[in-house]
Amino acid sequence: MQRWPVVLFLAWVCFLFFAGIGLFMSGFLLTRIELASSSSCSDPLVPPPWERQSLPPGSCWAPQRFSKAVLVIIDALHFEFARFDPAKASPLPYENKLGVLHQLATSQPRHARLYRFRADPPTATMQRIKGLTTGSLPTFIDVGSNFASYAIQEDNLLAQLVQNGRRVVFMGDDTWEGLFPKKFFRSYFFPSFNVKDLHTVDDGILQHLYPTVDSGEWDVLIAHFLGVDHCGHKHGPDHPEMAKKLTQMNEMLRSLVDHLGNDTLLLVAGDHGMTETGDHGGDSEKEVNAALFVYSRTPLFGSSPPEEPETIPQVNLVPTVALLLGVPIPYSNIGEVMAELFAGDGDAVSAALQQLSVYHINAKQVDRFLQSYSLVAQDLPAEQLQHLQELFSSAVEEHTQLLAQVRGTTVPPELEPRLGSLISRFQRYLREARAVCTQSWARFHPLRMVGGCVLIASSCLLCYMASELAASSQSFCRSCLLYPLFWGPVGAALLWLVHVFTQEGLDLLLVSSWAAAASQLGFFWHWWGQHLKRARLTGSQPPLASGGLRQRLRAWLGLAFPMGILFFRCGAMFSDSFVVAEARVAPFLLASLVMLLVGKLHWDGRLTVPEGPKQQLLGLSSYRREIWYLLCLVAMFLVCVRLSSFFHQCREEIPQCRPSVFLSPLASLRNTRAKNFFYLLCVALLAGLVYAVQSWLRHYGNLNSSDPLVLFVRWGFPLVVLCIACYWAVASSADDSLGKLQELVQVAVVVFPRAVYGLASVGLLLLLCNPVTVFAKDTRESAESIVTPYLGVPGSEVDFLHVIPQIYKRMQESQRSRLERGSCRATVAAYGLGSVYSAALVIALTLLAFLLMLLHSERLSFAFLLLFVEAFVLLHIHTCARGLAGDAELFSVPWYAVISWLLAASQFFYSTGHQPIFPAIHWNAAFVGFHLDHSTNLLPAVLVGANTFASHILFAVGCPLLLLWPFVCEMSNSQRRKPKKESRDELQEVEERMMEMRLRESPEKFSTALLRLGLKYLFVLGAQLLSCVCAAMILRRHLMVWKVFAPKFLFESLGFVVSSICLLLGISLVMRVDCAVSTWFSQLRLR
């Protein structure tokens, strides 16, 4: 049997997919690391002594210019919506509607000004709110200490205001409630999900806005209007409804200005723009071009506004507002202060001094952040950081020298030109620092996205081609593996040489992608050469004719219905509604596939027996007996699918959904009787699973020996159940214990899970060391008997219960030769040999299930029991369908079985309480068996990953059962059908009952079957992944890209990685069993 070539070939295919995923992620996902540090008034960034003396009470870092501020966010306020052009006689519906802004800017030029407010992609509302409050560049993945919610953990403007005693009042979009929990002095949240609702949020704000402003019980007021954004999504910007909504905003602002005091700063901002269709989320010019309007009753600006409004990045608002209100700038800010707002009423020199002061504070804060960030992350280029440090050091040094020559606020005339030069140097530093961060964090890389997509698509094509080609060549993987292994390193070496000559940094991800692409080209080149060679040998005969046109068409028609369901699921990934509702769609597709299988068997006439003359005369047809068994299996399967829907988690996009009560831990139950009932039921289910597994192993004779693994299954499994039950008991009552008992409970909560980890690890090690669960028994028999002692009355309970003698064919030939010679000889009965491969997989799956159930809440043990029952039923449906179809090729697993297996994995991803969104991740799994004392992130990541992808792990490891199960079920079928025969015929019957030992009759076919199964599994996984990748790439400007498509792509990618690794482990375990079985036979020959 080819063991290593098969594993290496599958590992190489997995590497191709991994390289494609990594390449696409590097171009699509915008990532950075969040820092936990925060700014405070005591930081060493305070102004110089001569300035600090002038700080009024309550000010931090710089003098407070305003005691109050009103921030009005008009969602999706494009700059063209705010611009007013009197020359336009026939404006579009979105033009010239905000006339109050133009009126204030022209009548009071030193009090009001309009800016182009440039947003950084992604232009989704949540990411923009993060940018407007942290001063940094939020990306899809902000790696911080808490992913359990969307709450902003990074230092932000609202946290600084609250920390410094300011009262923040909010009204509007309820997105802020999740981002800033418990940060508001008073709040009025309104639902924001229904984009067809144009008025609920806006009318709710208007109801509270003016009374709140007049009350004076606030320091900062934030009002987030959504009507303009929703109108864009529903109608587009060029629609009369947009004109009505903008007119409403204009009247609101006109009235609001009349209610403001002299000490209040008004900011009117759009968080992003919108396209011609009203969408946003990407990085197009229309999406990033928003508007900002600044107004105050007291003079703000020292000069007249420019003819064309200035463009400022959105992150510049954070340091500006922070210093104007006298609070520290948030720690991670990379924005630049809007210096013109700090000019004041003095002369040009005093204004320059004040601007220089705030620039100096701003630069020191950005330099501190860059130094801290560079210590924990490597995504900022070291050369550019060094250049920025040099710019900052030289500017600070000149600033120190300049201040040494300044007396109070009097600047000698010869120093005045140096003020402007120094301000320009600080500006240059801040802008280059932001450019470096923008280049690293907030830019799509289309070429890498396309390259990753092409690499994944070509890997899917390779899987399909290789699964078909492997059937025609027994040594396929060995012959085709040499070319990829050669061309891959060659491609990587060529790329390395290019980087050496160009003296550029070497990107490991790019090298891996080049190696993957080169190895793929090597494979396809070899295949094309072999194809041409075969074509020359067969002459001019067309390929279809050589294989039989009818036979190929029948094969393609057989693929139509399973592939149709697969491609339907893949195509539906482009719909955000499908992704949101996939928890209900995946079980429907799985049930549809099984029902279509039964229908196809009926249409092919496989469910009826051949009609005799009498039946033909009466027009009747009789069904086979097996049809009732199949229908019972299908009914049981549908019941499992239905019951699994009771364990679903909810998404916020479905407000009427209610999460399953089974997702909450037992500790959340206040009713003691209910808690005890569910606890006993969960323990009973766990014990029932162990009993079922042990019964199955005992039935097939795999629990007869005294090997360590068998002893562990007998006694270790109940001990694991006991530890899990004890853990559930103490965890569910941890909050009720008092005093010293509380300390014991805290210890027990850690000890029992670690005991389960230890026992499961011991079991897996025993499985790897000696996975053969076979009991061999030597006997003396007469010449007329066969190779087993199964004749007559059973001599022992073991004979009575476990008589399944499965002997290898060579041993049978030896016995036959001795039988023909008529001599007495020693024979061997091997109990459990016919299910030795499946037994190892069942034991491994049970151990993994123990670990995974431990990481979930107690009542999800119901879901895991359903998972095992449904998988068991699916395997029997697959076996029964193959028997009814008369499929003689048992070494090939049909496509419908692989697709249904993977659909079941997707179904139970949702049925174990998960959703492809970050808030639905079960973060508490990271601390099962641990207090909050993880020294590294690796272990909690593994625990959370195992919890999230539990169904992927179990179904991938159990995938080889699709190949093995028809062989396991062979014995019972043949035993029911065949009567007792003579001795020689009886010997032939035993040969037919070889079960999984038939796999060893053709070791090359066995290895090829495992290879084809693995390739088919990877193809289906890859097709689903490819659809998510294409959806994320094509719809990257869609409204829901960062809320729906990007999380779905990320979960699908991680699920692919977990599934492919576990698939390799499952196939490797089968090969490890095969190696151990070979060793067992070798030892048997020496007896």
pLDDT greater than 90 at residue 44:
no
Residue 656 banded pLDDT, cuts 50, 70, 90: confident
Residue pLDDT, tens place only, 443-459: 677 888 999 999 999 99
- For position 1048, what pLDDT does the model report? 92
Cβ within 8 Å of residue 76, ≥6 positions away: 228, 229, 232, 270, 271, 272, 273, 274, 278, 280
d(CA 729, CA 735) in angstroms, rounded, equals 12
Q: What average pLDDT is seen over the chain?
A: 81
- List the single range of 302-306, 479-483, 656-660, 1037-1041 with lowest mean pLDDT: 479-483
CB atoms within 10 A of CB 468: 13
278: left (phi over 0), alpha (psi -120 to 50) or beta: left
Q: Which of 285-299, 472-486, 611-625, 823-837 is most confident?
A: 285-299
- The first and second tokens of residue 561, run together, are 């219905």
Q: Helical H runs in 216-284?
A: 227-235, 240-259
d(CA 1066, CA 610) in angstroms, rounded, equals 41
User: Hey, what's the torsion of the CAs at 854, 855, 859, 864, to 10 degrees?
Assistant: -80
d(CA 86, CA 125) in angstroms, rounded, equals 31
Segment 506-527 shows an average pLDDT of 79
- For position 548, what pLDDT does the model report? 53
b/e map 1075-1087, b = 16+ CB within 10 Å: ebbeebbeebeee
DSSP 716: I
Annotate 1002-1044 with DSSP letters as a single string. SHHHHHHHHHHHHHHHHHHHHHHHHHHHHHHHHTTTSTTIIII
Residue pLDDT, tens place only, 262-309: 899 999 999 988 888 777 776 678 888 999 999 999 888 877 888 889
- For position 478, what pLDDT does the model report? 59
pLDDT greater than 60 at residue 144:
no
Give 750-756's long-range contacts (Cβ < 8 A, gap of 24+).
Answer: 750/929, 750/930, 750/931, 752/723, 752/724, 752/726, 752/727, 752/929, 753/723, 753/727, 753/854, 753/928, 753/929, 754/929, 755/723, 756/720, 756/723, 756/724, 756/727, 756/850, 756/851, 756/854, 756/929
pLDDT greater than 90 at residue 987:
no
More confident of the two residues 222 and 183: 222
Residue 46 banded pLDDT, cuts 50, 70, 90: low
Query: Which residue is it, tokens 């007021």?
Result: 221
For CA atoms 1038, 1043, 1048, 1053, give the dihedral sign.
positive
More confident of the two residues 221 and 668: 221
Closest CA to 837 of 701, 696, 961: 961
Annotate 1059-1077 with DSSP letters as a single string. HHHHHHHHHHHHHHHHHHH
Segment 801-820 shows an average pLDDT of 46
Query: Which residue is it, tokens 């948030």?
Result: 330
- For position 748, what pLDDT does the model report? 86
Instruction: Please name the amino acid found at residue 138.
Output: P
DSSP 315: G
Annotate 561-575 with DSSP letters as a single string. HHHHHHHHHHHHTT-
3-state secondary structure 36-69: CCCCCCCCCCCCCHHHHCCCCCCCCCCCCCCCEE
Residue 877 banded pLDDT, cuts 50, 70, 90: very high
pLDDT greater than 60 at residue 221:
yes
The DSSP bridge partners found for residue 825 are 781
- For position 75, what pLDDT does the model report? 92
Q: Which of 145-154, 617-626, 745-754, 958-967 is most confident?
A: 958-967
d(CA 131, CA 272) in angstroms, rounded, equals 11
- The first and second tokens of residue 1022, run together, are 């890859």
Instruction: Please name the amino acid found at residue 475.
Output: S
pLDDT greater than 60 at residue 820:
no
Closest CA to 835 of 1078, 1082, 1081, 1070: 1070
The DSSP bridge partners found for residue 32 are 142
The DSSP bridge partners found for residue 186 are 169
Segment 108-118 shows an average pLDDT of 92
- For position 523, what pLDDT does the model report? 81
Closest CA to 2 of 840, 1010, 769, 834: 1010
Q: Helix 508-538 to helix 4-28 angle, to the nearest 10 degrees?
A: 130
pLDDT greater than 70 at residue 480:
no
- pTM (2 d.p.): 0.73
Residue pLDDT, tens place only, 528-581: 776 666 666 665 444 444 445 555 666 666 678 889 999 999 999 998 889 989
d(CA 332, CA 512) in angstroms, rounded, equals 33
- For position 143, what pLDDT does the model report? 47
DSSP 936: S
- List the single range of 533-537, 664-668, 972-976 with lowest mean pLDDT: 972-976
pLDDT greater than 60 at residue 810:
no
Residue 612 banded pLDDT, cuts 50, 70, 90: low
Segment 579-608 shows an average pLDDT of 87
Q: Which of 803-817, 928-942, 1038-1052 is most confident?
A: 1038-1052
- For position 1080, what pLDDT does the model report? 83
- For position 808, what pLDDT does the model report? 44
- List the single range of 96-100, 176-180, 1028-1032, 1042-1046 with lowest mean pLDDT: 1042-1046
Residue pLDDT, tens place only, 233-259: 888 888 888 999 999 999 999 999 999
Local structure of 770: helix, strand or coil: coil
b/e map 610-631, b = 16+ CB within 10 Å: eeeeeeeeeeeeeeeeebeebe
- For position 618, what pLDDT does the model report? 44
Segment 636-664 shows an average pLDDT of 86
Residue 822 banded pLDDT, cuts 50, 70, 90: very low
pLDDT greater than 80 at residue 349:
no
Residue 1073 banded pLDDT, cuts 50, 70, 90: very high
Query: Which residue is it, tokens 């799509």?
Result: 444
Contact (Cβ atoms closer than 8 angstroms) between residue 649 and residue 659: yes
CA atoms within 13 A on the CB side of 78: 26
- For position 1047, what pLDDT does the model report? 87
Closest CA to 1002 of 833, 889, 881: 889
- For position 227, what pLDDT does the model report? 92
Cβ within 8 Å of residue 227, ≥6 positions away: 198, 199, 201, 202, 245, 248, 249
